[in-house]
Structure 1
Amino acid sequence: MYRILIVDDEPIILKGLQVLIQQSELPISSIRMAANGQEALERMEEELPDFIFSDVRMPVMDGLELCKRIQEMDADVQTVVISGYGDFEYARQCVGYGVKEYLLKPVSKGQLHELLAKLAKGKSKRRQSGYLSIAKMDRWLEQFEQAVYFLEKDTLERLLDEWEQEIEGYQLQRAQYVELVEQFDHLLMKKLKARSVNIAVVPLQLRQDCSAEAACKRFRDHISETFRNLEKMRKGKVKDPVEEAKLYIEQNLRSEVSLEEVADMLGIHPNYFSLLFKQMTGETFIQYRIRCRMNQAKKMLGMQHIRITDISYEVGYADHSHFTKMFKKMEGLSPSEYRLKKLGIQ
């Protein structure tokens, strides 16, 4: 089954090509459309097509730039450029970006069907050659890692289905199939471990005489088990870890919340969590916690009926003098001076 993407800023052309492609004998699973190169790249992120038919002159991003981006992706996608007679020389530039076929408008039914058969034949030959490119393998790994790490169950199920379809198309020998599945699983576990996920990560081991069907099932079960373990560790929470941590800090200002405590709650190794938090917020865990406490203290200082000693306790400082010292360090004024000079409260 082949997936096709048509890119043109003219709705009539899009619809016409869609109808002609549907009338071909090619087994097609999806025909998707985009109005320009930028939309096409977005569609490709959602589903990688086998064949792309693209116009040359389009707004936002033209066909030449689109072909260049596709070449940089090193994706197993065959691109056909369709242009008007006046754009013919312009279209020829796309050849330098890996485009091997181009058609002149208007495209006839016979011409298009002949080209589709040629593209399908070339696709089949490449798949029989064996392994995924390194760039394509990396893209698969990144998608799987994100889905598992951020507990995106529906996305993971979709990826597992698409991954099986992908490698089935390569028509590998049984030993090659088993080796590819093991290698992919090993690299995925390694990427998850690099995030220091606080769960046991054990690479999949398959028998060499394992069938392709059994290998796929074992891989699916192994990834699903890893997902469930992480979900259990996180107590089912699927939000961004840093956002979860920030919310937890803000809701527990009275307590001496530690980085280790929050990391354990999220199922992340403390060292990795510390680096991640600093990278995402620009502050250390301690700096963020102090700032949250001082922001809350400033709000409470505006409530005249609350004593400053009570405020220090409410924001996690049992030692009032320590609170006063920290507040002055952050704001340049003591709490009482801030209340008087900034808020006009005596």
Structure 2
Amino acid sequence: MRLLIADDEPVIRRGLVKMAETYRLQFDAIDTAVNGEHALSLIKEFEPDVLLTDIRMPRMGGLELCQELHEQYGHIQIIVISGYGEFQYAQQCLAYGVKHYLLKPVTGVVLHQTFDAIVKHRNKGIVSLASYVDWIENIGQEIWMLQTEQLDRLLLDWRAHLQAAGLSVPQLQQLLDDAVGMIFRRLVSKGYMEVSVIEPIGHHTVQEQLLNEFELRVKQMTADLVTQRWGNFKNPLDEVKSYIDTHLSEEITLEEVAEMAGYTPTYFSAMFKKMTGDTFVRYRIHRRMERAKELLALPHMRIIDVAANVGYEDYPHFTKMFKKVTGHTPTEYRTMLGFNG
């Protein structure tokens, strides 16, 4: 388990950490926050299993924090620490699902007993909504990018996570059916076309079967996407090359072309270089110069017009780039073809 301690008093905070460190079951990590706002930012980052919080803190108190967690992170177990005069606040916390309320001063024995109660009755059948949404987004992204190794690791990690969540078979079936639908809709919004029918997971009696069926559907969507891109459909790289060739006179960007192909700029840049042996910028420059050579072979075309046709309004810059790529100036190249300028 991971523990987060929120208290604005440094001495009390350190004392609570020491008491937690002596608990019979070692925590995976013990983190601290100086107020509710700080605690919430940490929770968004790593989601502890248990929160131990004072009820009165600056910026955001324990009551507000409990309310936030009740709405977004219902799986986190909360222990509230309060003074006698603050019992009415603790009563409000109970409405936010808080089950453990300790009076100050807190002793190690009482705190350890509370930890024991949490371990014994730790909620089962709960999956963090925030983690679930992130999981859906990540799986959809890895499918879209056809990153099969990362996808396999993600599926393996979540298989272990879901098996440890204590979900019933009906709960797991509903969760996975919903996940298939959400992933499918995200892919469709990006341009995915269903090649084969994605069936619901259906009824099974054991979790292992449900998880296997879910992974089969993820693999099916991945295979469909491969077919869409490289089977009965055009290779997206061919479409990219065609787009570059028909827009040589324009200042198109890597980001623009990546979006057209359905990739992130970083991934597209790496993929483009791997498949062409050139960076996007160098490839476009070479295609411009190849086109320029074709136009320079037309006697009626002025060199300044050739430059404009391949995207260079600055004639000296075009001449410099042409010589860098071909080893000759445009005029020298025309002379080699038997033209005079």
TM-score range with shorter-chain normalisation? Answer: 0.5 to 0.7
TM-score by length of structure 1 reads 0.55
Q: Aligned match of 1:143 in 134, 142, 155?
A: 134
List per-residue Cα deviations over 1:279-308 (Å, max 9, x = no partner): xxxxxxxxxxxxxxxxxxxxxxxxxxxx99
Q: 1:169 aligns with which of 144, 165, 184?
A: 165
Distance 2:171 2:83 in 1: 44
Over 3 Å counting, the alpha-carbon distance change for 1:123 and 1:150 in structure 2 is same
* Cross-structure match for 2:55: 56
* One-letter code aligned to 1:183: D
* Conserved? CA contact 1:54–1:81, under 8 Å: yes
Code of the aligned partner of 1:147? N
What residue identity is the alignment partner of 1:51?
Answer: V
Contact between 1:160 and 1:220, CA under 8 Å: does it hold in 2?
Answer: no
Say whether 1:65 aligns with 2:64.
yes
Structure 2 counterpart SS, 1:9: coil
Write out aligned runs for 1:129-208 (5 A): 130=125, 132=126, 136-137=128-129, 139-151=130-142, 157=153, 161=157, 164-170=160-166, 172-173=168-169, 176=170, 179-180=173-174, 182-198=176-192, 200=194, 203=198, 208=203
Q: What CA distance in whole angstroms lies between the structure 2 residues aligned with 1:49 and 1:149? A: 26
Check whether the contact 1:5–1:51 (CA below 8 A) recurs between aligned residues.
Answer: yes
Give the direction of change, closer, same or farther, for the CA distance of 1:169–1:228 in structure 2 (3 Å limit): same
For 1:181-236, what per-residue CA distance to the aligned partner results, in whole angstroms no more than 9, with x for missing partners? 6414323323423523436586476575575345435645754786798799999x
Identity %: 28
Letter in 2 for 1:265: A
- Match in the other structure for 1:111: 110
CA distance in 1, matches of 2:223, 2:31: 34
Q: Which residue of 2 aligns with 1:266?
A: 262
Q: Which amino acid aligns with 2:137?
A: Q
CA contact (8 A) 1:51 1:78 kept: yes
The alpha-carbon distance between structure 1 residues 310 and 87, as it changes in their structure 2 partners (threshold 3 A), is: farther
1:1-346 pair list within 5 angstroms: 2-26=1-25, 28-73=27-72, 75-85=74-84, 87-124=86-123, 127=124, 130=125, 132=126, 136-137=128-129, 139-151=130-142, 157=153, 161=157, 164-170=160-166, 172-173=168-169, 176=170, 179-180=173-174, 182-198=176-192, 200=194, 203=198, 208=203, 211-213=206-208, 215-216=210-211, 219=214, 223=218, 254-255=249-250, 263-266=259-262, 313=309
- Residue type at the aligned position of 1:80: I
- For 1:123, what is the secondary structure of its paired residue? coil
The verdict on how the C-alpha distance between 1:172 and 1:115 changes in structure 2, with shifts beyond 3 A counting, is same
Gaps (5+ residues) in structure 2? Answer: 231-239, 265-302, 314-341
Alpha-carbon distance between aligned partners in 2 of 1:3 and 1:45, rounded to the nearest angstrom: 14
| AA at the equivalent of 2:168 | L
Give the aligned residue type for 1:216.
L
Measure how far apart 1:158 and its partner are.
Answer: 6.3
Stretch of structure 1 that moved more, 113-122 or 154-163: 154-163
Which stretches in structure 1 are left out of the alignment for 5+ residues? 236-244, 269-306, 318-346
1:26 and 1:112 map into 2 onto residues whose CA distance is: 13
Give RMSD over aligned pairs: 4.6
Secondary structure of 2:48's match? Answer: coil
How many residue pairs match? The answer is 255
The residue type paired with residue 58 of structure 2 is P
Residue 169 of structure 1 aligns to which amino acid in structure 2? A
Note the C-alpha offset of 1:54. Answer: 0.6
Q: 1:46 to 1:162 in 2, by over 3 A?
A: farther
> Structure 1 residues 64, 208: CA separation in 2 closer, same or farther (over 3 Å shift)?
closer
Counterpart residue identity of residue 249, structure 2: R
Q: Distance in 1 between matches of 2:189 and 2:113?
A: 49
Give per-residue Cα distances to partners, 1:17-68, cap 9 Å, x unaligned.
2332233334643333222212222222233333211112223322121112
Given residue 12 of structure 2, which amino acid in structure 1 is its aligned partner?
A: I
Tell me the CA shift for residue 107 of structure 1: 0.9
TM-score normalized by structure 2? 0.56
Moved more, 111-120 or 219-228: 219-228
